[in-house]
Amino acid sequence: MNVIIVTIQLVAAGLTLLILADMIVSFALAPWHPFRRTLDSWTAPMLAPIRRVLPPIGMLDFSPAVLVILIQLAKEVLVTLVRSLGS
């Protein structure tokens, strides 16, 4: 069971880092830069449903923050579920 829990935690951490990197890179690189386009292609499918419900407020886009919170919430639920199944 520990392998499953560690895997869940690593996937959640990886997704969180990917989203944070995309946020930082969006301030530093032009939209057509290949690295930024690659990051955007990975994060856009996860952010699109949130952006449909929560549009940008002025110049601020809160969808990455919402996605990070949802990832952390899903991680906690899954880890709790796996721990309860293992005992």
What pLDDT score was predicted for residue 59?
A: 87
By three-state DSSP, how is residue 57 classified?
Answer: strand
Query: In the chain, how many domains are there?
Result: 1
Residue 54 domain boundaries: 2-86
For 3-78, strand residue ranges (E) read none
pLDDT higher than threshold 90 for residue 56:
no
pTM assigned to the model: 0.89
pLDDT higher than threshold 90 for residue 87:
no
pLDDT tens figures, 9-35: 999 999 999 999 999 999 999 999 999
* Residue 57, φ and ψ in degrees, nearest 5: -105, 100
